[in-house]
Structure 1
Amino acid sequence: MDWDKLRVFHAVAEAGSFTHAGETLNLSQSAVSRQISALEESLGVPLFHRHARGLILTEQGELLHRTAREVFAKLSMTEAMLTESREHPKGPLKVTTTVAFGSTWLTPRIQEFLSIYPDIQLTLLVDDNELDLAMREADIAIRMNTPRQPDLIQRHLMSIHFHLYAHQNYAKRRGLPKTAQELDSHDLIIWPPDVRAPVPSVNWPLDVGEPPAGGRRPAFQVNSTYAIYRAVESGLGIAALPDFLVDGNKDLVRVLPDVAGPKVDAYFVYAEELRHSKRIAVFRDFLVKKVAETPF
């Protein structure tokens, strides 16, 4: 297969249209279309179903796309390793973690890291869905559960503790429960039970103590820990929040201080192929130092 045509095919398959792929490759739509048609002709099979709303991969196209993704992921990883300086870490570094942790704890510490390592081009992807490290969607992941993918190196980074919190305005308006059973009559904010959460046992406030036979009815559900935090800040109700998210916010009060949720362990994770990467090593060491300085 012609390498240039395969590169164009990969871009089209990822983008889902000739136009968007052309923007990525700096080629015209017609040039991209001609490359794809030539590749289909040389292979003797159609790679895309063309319709008014865009492109859909054929069965043969899906097979080629899976292989192309693996090839380009490996090439990207190899390029990063070849261009990395042994003496001084430099080059791109892509990190992914949850929206709440990345937005509130990690981002404020990035300036210090980049002041130490100015030649590292750091990209942070905050996403409550897990990105595929094997496919180089990111170089490093900070995950709130044990990684399920094979061939990943993991290091325990920290233990995160959850407690119940409410805003002072909510406490003045509704009062605060003195026992876990009194949560039955309060406005609880939870993660939607039918949506996968980035941490296990996320809705433990519904079960703490002895809930009524029909269960506790939440006042509000949202699939983002950071959005839950903002809902609590607005005075909407009571929710389980990680302590790092509340740290320094004097307007939030801990509800039922002796009641704690399940501990969540966070892991620093990366692909085995990157075990000798200087960039990953210095970022890992920096985070370990920052965790040690933080009173979780």
Structure 2
Amino acid sequence: MSIYRPKTTVEQWRILQAVVDHGGYAHAADKLSKSQSSLNHAVAKLQQVLGVQLLEVRGRKAYLTDIGEVMLRRSRQLTQTITELEQLADNLHFGWEPEVRLAIEMACDRAPLMPVLQKFNDESRGSRLIIDDTVLTGTLEQILEQTADVVISHHLPKGILGEPFSEFRMELVCKPDHPLAQMEQPIKQGDLMHHLQVVIRDTATKPSETSGWLKAEQRWTVSHFDEALRLIKSGLGFCWLPTYLTDQAVAKGELTRLQLDGSSHRSGLLYLVLPKGEKTGPCARLLADKLLQHRSVESIDQAAANDQPAANDKASPNSKTAHSIA
């Protein structure tokens, strides 16, 4: 297989761009600290090897031809790619990670994170971002095994530090015409046992079934809250779901909240964790800093104040359970 040898150089394309951007050879020569004749020669050589006319001179100004406009546009992509490639080499040399993994507990509302991720992207220097949806012990596994660089978790394993980030709230919901919704409220836990429960699969490689209420005789397991929401809206069973997913459906009458005796809701605090501690790379730290700048909870005390039960809630010692989210 023959090796392709380019007929043009990056420098020639950058000179062409400068001539166009600065309105002619004279101004481009000043900006590039080169002689006007050297720029003329570079563009002429470029046109010669390509066999097409890129510029035409009218008076003292150079104008792009139709072909020149197309070639200039593509050349900008080329020079931008080369700039990014060279920047990547510098980044890697100074320890900037080419890839960062963010694990987010599914109970966390993603909507407020989108502007933060956009700001991170603007400063990420081209590093790739992998976002993992995690549940229950799957989230803790990402922390303990240090498989993620940044984790938003519902729980802190023993000996692990984390920053309060936001709160989550889970409510028991079903379709308004479901038999559970027709019962006198609050219902008992025993009432749930004879109906289909939709649960979220633990994302851990060795999942634990000690978290959450899993006593229904009939149980369907799905991989994501979105799938659970679709099933519940269709009338199939009941499920504990985060309020950021259910509030709108409840307001539209598509879902109803069940009042469970002794546990009107489940809520807790989400933490931002750097599993690798001092070994966390600069790009991962940038992401963590961006997230913390926009966190909705500054302290555990603030979270406790925010979690005061509403007038129609029956609060109990079990109503704030950071472990039970599925």
Give the TM-score normalised by structure 2.
Answer: 0.46
1:165 is matched with which residue? 173
Mapping 1:66-145, distance limit 5 Å: 82-84=94-96, 92-98=99-105, 100-101=106-107, 105-106=109-110, 108-117=111-120, 118-120=122-124, 121-128=128-135, 129-130=138-139, 131-133=141-143, 136-145=146-155
- Per-residue CA distance 1:28-80 (angstroms, 9 max, x = gap): xxxxxxxxxxxxxxxxxxxxxxxxxxxxxxxxxxxxxxxxxxxxxxxxxxx87
Aligned residue type for 1:232: I
Q: Is the 8 A contact 1:191 1:197 kept in 2?
A: no
2:267 is matched with which residue? 263
Is 1:240–2:240 an aligned residue pair? yes
Shift of 1:169: 4.5
Shift of 1:143: 1.6
Distance 1:193 1:136 in 2: 21
2:288 is matched with which residue? 283
Q: 1:218 to 1:228 in 2, by over 3 A?
A: farther
Q: Is the 8 A contact 1:157 1:288 kept in 2?
A: no
Q: Is the 8 A contact 1:177 1:255 kept in 2?
A: no
Mark the structure with the bigger radius of gyration.
2
- Per-residue CA distance 1:212-256 (angstroms, 9 max, x = gap): xxxxx4433315461433321221122222223323234222111
Shift of 1:284: 4.3
Distance 2:153 2:280 in 1: 18
- Per-residue CA distance 1:110-148 (angstroms, 9 max, x = gap): 542243231323220123324445765210111222224
Aligned residue type for 1:267: Y
2:219 is matched with which residue? 220
Distance 2:99 2:129 in 1: 6
Distance 1:179 1:132 in 2: 37
Q: 1:273 to 1:237 in 2, by over 3 A?
A: same
Quote the RMSD (CA, aligned, Å).
Answer: 4.2
Q: Aligned to 1:161, what secondary structure does the other structure show? A: strand
Distance 1:110 1:157 in 2: 11
Aligned residue type for 1:196: P
Q: 1:264 to 1:232 in 2, by over 3 A?
A: same
Distance 2:207 2:265 in 1: 18
Q: 1:123 to 1:228 in 2, by over 3 A?
A: same
- Per-residue CA distance 1:157-206 (angstroms, 9 max, x = gap): 233222211123537x96244232383586241549998359x74117x5
Shift of 1:155: 1.5
Distance 1:133 1:177 in 2: 43
1:196 is matched with which residue? 207
Give the TM-score normalised by structure 1.
Answer: 0.50
Structure 2 unaligned runs (5+)?
A: 1-90, 298-305, 308-326
Q: Is the 8 A contact 2:170 2:267 kept in 1?
A: yes
Identity %: 15
Aligned residue type for 1:82: F
Distance 2:219 2:144 in 1: 36
